Amino acid sequence: MFKDKFIIRFFLFICSILILTSYFVSANQGDKCEGFLPPLVPPPPLPEGIKIEPDLGQEFTFTANLKGKNIPVRYSKYRATMIPRKGTIIFLCGGPGVPCTGARPQNIPKEYDVVTLDYLGIGRNARHNKPAYMAIESQGDIVAQVAKRLKEPNLLIFAQSFGTTVATVAGSLINTAANDTKETVLKGVVLEGVVGPDSGQSYSEGYSSTAKHAWSYLSPKQKKRFRIQYAKAVKGLSPEEKFNIDATIVMNMQSGTKATVEFLKHINSEQLRYAAQSDFYTNFINRPGVRDIFQAAGCQLHFKDSETGMKIFGGTVDLITMGSGADKICKCRTVANNFNPNTHQIKAPIVYINGGQDPATPLAGAKEHMEGQSHPNKVLISSPNGGHIDSSGLLKNCMPIFFEELNKGRFENLVSSATSMSNGRCESQTNLPGNGQQKAVQ
């Protein structure tokens, strides 16, 4: 019961941050895809007679073999809600430390089944919390075993942030050759917010530069206004509540400099006080499994760079001590300390998505990851102003095209359109070659 309540409260907290960010950014956006997140406008009405019911997914348990031992692993499947059905997408979320299951991801086309699972040691697979099981190679092995069970001839993988490490391993293990034996065939991999090798800037160490740039764009009056609002918000709060506010601001920086500027310009004390009640500290930072999976990945949960960024804004909380314990100053340099993606060669075409202003997974890491992969079909989509996760904002209209072209084997179309797609200029899915009339699944 506690775990379910946490998932719901954490999901609502993340949604509130995205809503606030969308509101602030939309105020200065153009009429096309030039902002980070879409304006808050109601979706267009569905054609008459079409009704999409929410799909909470179906849960499966199978016996996986990991390091010579059989263990039960749970995963979820969300059916396609539009026809014709086009295949299956395995979704690997970021974090790490939060469950990937619970609802169908919203930025995946409805013509695809979606399969996802909580990483070993987390959520529905929390029982498998041995370091060897939680290591990236083990996580990728499990995903590959899930893929094999699906017997899906049109399989794609979509991974975000930490999930890109797991996808790299899985993509090196899944069959890509077409066959007549009903075996799973991997058609392509989409990596967003890529964790790459050590490229001079550590994983999750770009927050201070984002904060510095954003702060420099504010006028003295705007800086004063923010600090007044911040001071009002934190007055009388406990250290944990202050931590929740600072964590909210840090998470907003993931959208890049432009979105951070808009956030700082418009956020008020009441909204920050609301964020203070998020339980982010109590139920996420100190939640069992979070630090374990970071350590298994090659680093500990750390806030050193985030704290530097917050001090630029006038933050008062010791994020390092609060986040890790005074006796455990985190020493995370990079996930590549224990994981080198170049040793795992993805067998299918790869689309890389990485914002030029991504503070969590710097663009340099994506480029180095790409250079280390030997597959001839790979392309980088990167908006100069993009942040950590752009698939729900700037590149929202591009996502169906990425999946469609990979599924159909038309990779050359992605290469020729890479520049325009990096700027968010994508034709609608209904205009793609070969797309017929779509209908809702009854």
Residue 14 has pLDDT above 80, yes or no: no
Task: State the pTM of this model.
Answer: 0.74
**Residues 226, 296: one domain?**
yes
As a whole number of angstroms, the distance between CA 32 and CA 9 comes to 33
Is residue 9, in this structure, part of any structural domain at all? no
- Across all residues in the chain, what is the average pLDDT? 75
Is residue 185, in this structure, part of any structural domain at all? yes
How many domains are contained in the chain?
A: 2
Residue 158 has pLDDT above 60, yes or no: yes
Residue 332 has pLDDT above 70, yes or no: no
**Residues 63, 191: one domain?**
yes
How many CB atoms lie under 10 A from the CB of residue 413?
15
**Residues 188, 212: one domain?**
no
Is residue 190, in this structure, part of any structural domain at all? yes
The domain that holds 179 is classified in CATH as 3.40.50.1820
Domain end residue (candidates: 294, 324, 354): 324
Tell me the per-residue pLDDT of 293-311, one tens digit each, with 9 for 90 and over.
Answer: 555 554 444 445 455 555 5
Tell me the per-residue pLDDT of 166-211, one tens digit each, with 9 for 90 and over.
Answer: 999 999 999 988 777 778 999 999 999 998 775 444 445 567 777 8
Domain end residue (candidates: 324, 357, 384): 324
Share of the chain above pLDDT 90, in %: 33
Enclosing H/E stretch for 165: helix 163-171
Is residue 132, in this structure, part of any structural domain at all? yes
Is residue 50, in this structure, part of any structural domain at all? no
Range of the domain at 279: 204-324
As a whole number of angstroms, the distance between CA 117 and CA 101 comes to 6
**Residues 188, 70: one domain?**
yes
Q: Between helices 220-234 and 257-266, what is the axis angle to 10°? A: 70
Which residue, chain included where needed, has tokens 């902002």?
35
**Residues 369, 400: one domain?**
yes
Residues 401, 432 contacting (CB under 8 angstroms): yes
- The pLDDT score that the predictor gives to residue 380 is 95
10 Å CB burial of residue 328 (0-12, 13-18, 19+) is middle
Domain end residue (candidates: 290, 324, 358): 324
How many CB atoms lie under 10 A from the CB of residue 220?
7
**Residues 231, 276: one domain?**
yes
Report the candidate in 280, 248, 204, 194 with the shortest Cα–Cα distance to residue 19: 248
**Residues 105, 128: one domain?**
yes
Which residue, chain included where needed, has tokens 């964020």?
275
Is residue 333, in this structure, part of any structural domain at all? no
Tell me the per-residue pLDDT of 277-296, one tens digit each, with 9 for 90 and over.
Answer: 876 666 555 555 555 655 55
**Residues 272, 310: one domain?**
yes
Residues 188, 349 contacting (CB under 8 angstroms): yes
Residue 338, Ramachandran bin (φ over 0: left; ψ between -120 and 50: alpha; else beta): alpha
**Residues 67, 180: one domain?**
yes
**Residues 118, 170: one domain?**
yes
Tell me the per-residue pLDDT of 413-439, one tens digit each, with 9 for 90 and over.
Answer: 999 988 888 877 876 443 444 444 455
Is residue 314, in this structure, part of any structural domain at all? yes
DSSP string, 50-67: --PPP---EEEEEEEEET
**Residues 62, 189: one domain?**
yes
Is residue 8, in this structure, part of any structural domain at all? no
What is the average pLDDT across 25-47?
A: 33
**Residues 69, 163: one domain?**
yes
